[in-house]
Chain A
Amino acid sequence: MAASRKSRASGPPPPAATFVLDNGADTIKAGFVTGNKTDAPRIIPNCVARDRHRKTYVGSELEKCRDFGEIAFRRPVEKGFVVSWEAQKEIWDREFFDDKAPQRCDPSETRLVLAEQPNALPALQTHCDQMVFEEFGFYSYCRGIGPAFNAYQDIQAIFHTPRTPDTPVDVPAEVILVIDSGYSHTTVTPIVQGRPLHQAIRRLDVGGRLMTNYLTRLLSVRHFDMRNETFIANEMKEAVCYVSLDFKGDLEKTWKGTRGDRRDDYLSGAGIAKDYVLPDSHTTFHGVVRDYEPGVSARARKAAVSTEDVLTLRNERFVVPELLFNPSDIGMRQPGLADLVMQSLSALPIGLWPGLLANIVVVGGNASLDNFIQRLQMELLERVPDECVVRVARPQDPAISTWLGAANFARHEHVERLAVTKQEYEEHGAGWVARKFAAGLGAET
């Protein structure tokens, strides 16, 4: 079997370097794999931004920006997929292909491993493949869905499964369920031996962007107009938002009560209220979280430090991530995350459920929200038979988990079976390439 595979890969040897790219809507994760060496990925803002002084920043230039007030963004990735190649090419050129690019890559001698979101539109996939070969000219290329790359990580290490040092690491993992909660949306992908079970992949259109927009709206209704301050609202979300383990209880604790009858929990903050000091754009450029000071009225605090804009955040802290678990709270007609998992499982034979439920890995930026995995585990236990083991874990850095998995994949034998060379593209055409990627590894071991 191995022999026949080798004979297929006749011709010139594959390039020594692989460029691994997780081209997210919010950030690009990019880095090289050479031989057994994997460099840490660079994280690059995937946007063209313009601040209120009308200065424009492309990709990593955003590091130089100090004042994020009223900053506007143009993003090449929409709904998880590259839509504007004009902007995407500009960012890639500056980051990777220009002579003075900070992460210089010579495509003609490099293999590209590119992570894409599941269930892409065929036309956008074709655009991507055409750009990779016809514009950038990569030597060879493999496009695969991001969640499935996570199977090439040491999954049992993420679960802290007890084992002896000489236990071999299963790569790819036998059976896992990957939940990828990113900027554009949240997907559930069951994976067996590295193969995504396509019929069971499900998407919830709640992601980081929607949650930031929701926080922005709440603040604009309750405090002051933040609609042009999504960058600041996003920082605030990352600093203070958490997933509630007792939504009703937390909501009670944060209600003011009626006029003339303020509730004690409201006055004390009940451990939930936090003060957030907004940047003043002169001396401070990032917000600061402070403990809520009970007894000090907002007016008194304002008088004491008149230059500060302070918001007291209460239920905003947990109603925003609540959208992942109850999207109907804002009128969306989609199931919450636990039901999303159940819908995915219901497309599969019941015999696969125990393995999948015991190996749920949550990746993507939103996985870093406090209590995310606890809440999901709690809700799943309510939905599955009592004897079912439910294990939910997140890797140490969920935002780069897909990239790390893709980097491991780039060193695995599987990449040889899937990668397409520029020469093959020219011989067989874009349709052939698209079908090869869509067919994936097949069932053969």
Chain B
Amino acid sequence: MNNFGVIEIASTTTKNTPGWAYVPDTGPLPAALQPTNRKRAARNQPALSLSDLSAREETRIRKDLEALDRDSHRDANITIPPRPGGSRAQNKHTPNVRKILQSQKTFANHLDDYQALLALAESNPAAAAAMNAAQAKPSTPIAATPKSASPAPTVAPAGGGSRRSAAAAKRAAAKEKQEQEKKKARQTPKQEPDPETEANNPQQQEDQPDVEMPDATAPPQPTPTPNAEEPNPQETQSSYPRESLILPAYTKPPPRPHPGDADPLLVSYIPPFPSDDELRELMTAPPLSYLEARAGWGDEQRRYPVRVFCAVCGYWGRVKCMKCGVRVCALECLEAHREECVTRYGL
């Protein structure tokens, strides 16, 4: 068998031949990754039922990723051996601890529970709050009733997170926040350092929406009248040796003057440093939820072509098996792939 000049191919079109096809080196996303385009792709390609093909590709990629994510190839159901030296007294667990130790839930189960709770918070805030409170009660008798509020996500999700449920959770917390504010207004008529109040009401910070904070909910200021000392925003933005209470000013001597300092073409752009208010808001913002923090596929990534590799040797995948959609580099690897392909999908 000869080489068919496979390595020279760098075409931008797809050519179908019986059983396999040359494909562009840096083509668009494979159909499997762009389900919305599948219809159009199918219309353009007269090949053997492409929807079957991309379904196969899609399934394969999904299964591959699931397998790569697993902790081990086999399910490691290892029972814990008894301790040789004997353990501490075993039968004095609190009810909470007993429940935790007996739990067989996986991380995925817990994540589902959390998402369900957010959904419930949307439809029935009171029920969700009650559920959450029940979960967080200490087993020991308590003096004060624990306040109930989940660390509800209140900021924009990172990537396709549940904006709606976050908003719902925020609404659920809003009622309680109002009460908090009223209570706080009673407790602290003057604005003065009162870490005690803050420590007792930490969720006032969690509940803050990502819009501007009204003065009433601003955390108590430790320093006397910081607002008076604060330079006006205009000033802050233009001075890089910034006037900040949160970040100390640059104290070292400035660099020696340079003849080019005044040249408008040489002036480098220094972005305005955030104001203390901005910083304070960032520093006290609540954590995102697990799914919100997962980075999503942004515009940036959509711009790059997805790289495709030979499933056998790992070099660029320039040849496509028309039976299953797997990419290989050239005919030698295609032959190697054939064996496996036939076992999996038949002739």
Which B residues are in CB contact (< 8 Å) with A193? 246-247, 283
Min C-beta distance of A239 to chain B, whole Å = 19
Known contacts: A48-B78, A330-B65, A343-B158. The answer to whether A431 contacts B133 by CB under 8 A is yes
What 0/1 pattern do residues 125 to 141 of B give for CB contact below 8 A with A?
Answer: 00000001101111111
Q: Does A299 contact B (CB under 8 A)?
A: no
Stretch from A31-39, A252-260, A358-366, A391-399 forming part of the interface with B: A252-260
**Contact call B311/A221, Cβ cutoff below 8 A:** yes
- Select one of A258, A335, A340, A354 contacting B7, CB under 8 A: A258
Contact code string B305-318 (vs A, CB < 8 Å = 1, else 0)? 01101011111100
Closest to A386 in B: B268
Minimal Cβ-Cβ distance residue in B for A136:
B97
Q: Is the CB of A197 within 8 A of B306?
A: no
Across the interface, B114 reaches (CB within 8 A) one of A122, A258, A385, A442, namely A122
The reply on B143 being an interface residue by CB < 8 A is yes
Q: Do A348 and B136 touch across chains, with their CB atoms under 8 A apart?
A: no
Task: Say what secondary structure dominates the interface of chain B.
Answer: loop
Question: Quick check: B297 and A334 within 8 Å, CB to CB?
Answer: yes
Binary contact track B83-102/A, C-beta < 8 Å → 1, others 0: 10101100001101100111
Which of the residues A83, A213, A261 comes within 8 Å of B110, measured between beta carbons?
A: A83
One of B44-52, B183-191, B217-225, B254-262 contacting the partner: B217-225
Contact A442 B246 (CB under 8 A): no
> Does A97 count as interface, using CB distance less than 8 angstroms?
yes
Is A65's CB within 8 Å of the partner chain B?
no
Say whether B284 contacts A203, CB under 8 Å.
no
- The CA of A385 and the CA of B1, in the complex, are separated in Å by 52
Q: In the complex, what residue of chain B is closest to A258 when comparing beta carbons?
A: B3
Identify which of residues 117-131 in chain A touch chain B, using a CB-to-CB cut-off of 8 Å. Answer: 118-124, 126-127, 130-131
A258 and B332: CB pair below 8 A? yes
Question: CB of B64 within 8 A of chain A?
Answer: yes
A residues within 8 A CB of B175? none
Q: Which residues of A contact B70 (CB under 8 A)?
A: 213
Q: Which 6 A-B pairs have the closest CB atoms?
A: A429-B146, A439-B202, A443-B280, A119-B293, A331-B61, A444-B222
17 A–B contacts, CB within 8 A, in A order = A56-B79, A83-B110, A85-B100, A127-B103, A130-B100, A202-B295, A210-B68, A258-B331, A315-B315, A316-B314, A351-B271, A352-B274, A354-B270, A387-B269, A431-B132, A442-B283, A443-B246
In addition to A255-B315, A258-B331, 18 A-B residue pairs with Cβ atoms within 8 Å of each other are: A5-B195, A8-B196, A83-B106, A90-B80, A121-B111, A193-B283, A209-B69, A251-B315, A256-B332, A319-B309, A328-B304, A331-B61, A333-B297, A428-B143, A430-B136, A432-B200, A439-B206, A444-B220
